[in-house]
Chains A and B, each alone.
Chain A
Amino acid sequence: MITGAPIAGSSLAPIKASATFDPIFRQIRDLVYKASGIFQLDEKLYLLADGCGRRMKQLAVCTTRGYWDLLNTPSSHDAELRQLLNEITIGETCLFRSQPQLDALRKVILPEITTEKAKQISKRLRIWSAGCSTGEESYTLAMNMLEESDRLLKGWTVEILATDLNDRSVETAKAGIYGDYALRNTSDYYKRKYFSIIDEKKLQARPEVKKLITFSRLNLQDDSKMLFMKGIDLIFCCNVLIYFDRPSKSKVINHYFTSLNFGGYFFLGTSESLLKLNDQFHLVHFPGTIAYWKPSLKSSKL
């Protein structure tokens, strides 16, 4: 029976699967964001809920309230948050992980950078894949740069520096061998053009792709080594800084700022932000993605 009384709190009614969510998952979402910069959309909250569920099972914690308390206990906070981040970012690595980033790179950024640097004698583009893990992002970038080699990058030298802390990851990356899961977003066009068949389940990146990339081990927290990373045009660092505490994260971000050329860009993961830890970078929007920009000298008047 409808009455003439106003609806109390006529806010949006919960919809779809999110209706089943315990409100604590939103609190955990906020806690994860504040600590790591990773934001889980409402429609992806189930991933967070699944991750929490797996952790609760391993820890034999029965209630979400109990797990929330554990995450907020100073003695277990850091370690548990790390475990939870591992759970929610698991399986994210693959080639062509973020098409909006690649579109922004090829359709907006490359025309801008190549025009800007056209007057320089050395036409060199340097890209750094920081925390490259097993190389998926590095090869994706290399293939996309090769696609532009007859157009925007004609006459340019492209160098991709790919670094990771983990020796084994670096070795795997150097081999450039990937299976169906890692290649699930890779079109047949790229598979045919840039890979050789190893066996029926595995493909290997061809030498002309590998030639663009230099893999090496680097600890992002090693200040002396970080100082050597100079003259970079683009940095990709996806889902790496999420594991750092705020002071370490801030230090690495400052290194990135120094490493980048004026007018260079720094990309994080799809749902990852710098948490306003650095006010020298400008947050810029491209269709479907954001990046951080080191203002060019021309724009310093801003």
Chain B
Amino acid sequence: MTTSGDTEIAERVNRIENVPAVPAILLPLLNMLRKSEGEVDVNEVVRLVSYDKAIAVQCLRVAGSALFGLARSPESVSAAVLSLGLKRVENILLATCMGEILPPNMWVLDPVGFWRHSLGCAMVCRKFSEKIGVVDPDKAYLGGLLHDIGFLANCLAFTDEFAPAVQRACDEQIPLHQAERITMGFTHCETGRALAKKWCLSDDMVQVIAHHHAPEMSETAHSLVALVNLGDLLCRMRGLGYGYYERLRADLIFDPAWSILLQEHRKLEGVDLARFTFEIDGAVAEIYELVSAVFAPAPARG
């Protein structure tokens, strides 16, 4: 994409009138994620969740779903927080908030598949960073969660161009970014970068969003971008892709992303990648149920 193309993308993204409404509690939540485990204040979590009634109700509903196996549904947000543990509450909150960003009629992609992939990638990136001590695990989580927001920009600002790209990816069983490049001439990496700037996300996140399919092109945060690239690939390989078969073959250890990480983190050499892959499988079922619970129709009131 040329510089003039980049400018055009930025202009179209900036013209989006109904900016994906970032729920008010999302940014404070993301900030909270950056704190170390011991510093998180439970009262703060409860206050944030209770702030948005719709989200609080949704959280309670998800917390009470079969997934979490609680003896009975939590009756209050604080009970839910205590029963589930903070990390899981964060996942529920993020899934719930993010699920509200686009109204149902705006989606070109399947929203369930999208959030499944995003949350799955967040989880895999955190696990991976913990294993090899690469980047801050919470930053890795956030990178995994947000890396594909370009698809949201596509749904809002490039609906007509994006739909045939999705169709082509499914028909030819090729990666979405390749189909975008062929049919649109640009990808969610460029539109995502424009949206990330509009949302004033940090520079590191902008790098992840813009370069996760070509980490060698990243200007800064090389390790983080490389880690998200691998997390994204692993998710697509282990049932957390976009819901269609991709004719993919990945030799991760000979991937540019792996070389980038290896330069700075020799610990990577000792990782048993096969075992790590199997460990991811163990968490896939949980992601499926979490996202399905978030998107399940709300039970009838009465």
Contact = CB atoms under 8 A, between A and B. Distances in A.
Interface residues of A, number: 42
B88 A13 contact: yes
Contacts of A285: 233-234, 237, 248-252, 277
Interface stretch (A222-230, A240-248, A273-281): A273-281
Interface in A1-42: 2-7, 9-13, 15-17, 19, 33, 37, 39, 41-42
Interface string B60-89: 000000011100000000100111111110
B17 interface: no
Chain B binding surface SS class: helix
A3 to B, nearest CB: 7
Chain A binding surface SS class: loop
A74 interface: no
Nearest to B88: A12
Interface in B271-287: 272-275, 277-279, 281-282, 285-286
A43 B249 contact: no
A286 interface: yes
B291 to A, nearest CB: 15
A13 B278 contact: no
B83 A13 contact: yes
A290 B88 contact: no
B interface bracket (residues with beta carbon within 8 Å of A): 35 or more
A286 B238 contact: no
Contacts of B24: none
B53 interface: no
Interface of A: 2-7, 9-13, 15-17, 19, 33, 37, 39, 41-43, 103-104, 107-109, 112, 271, 273-276, 282-288, 290, 293, 302
12 contacts: A2-B42, A2-B81, A10-B85, A12-B88, A16-B67, A41-B282, A273-B274, A273-B275, A275-B274, A282-B253, A287-B246, A288-B239
Interface of B: 37-43, 46, 67-69, 78, 81-88, 173, 233-234, 236-239, 241, 245-254, 272-275, 277-279, 281-282, 285-286
For the complex of A and B, the 5 pairs showing the least CB-CB separation, nearest first, are: A273-B274, A10-B86, A13-B85, A42-B282, A39-B278
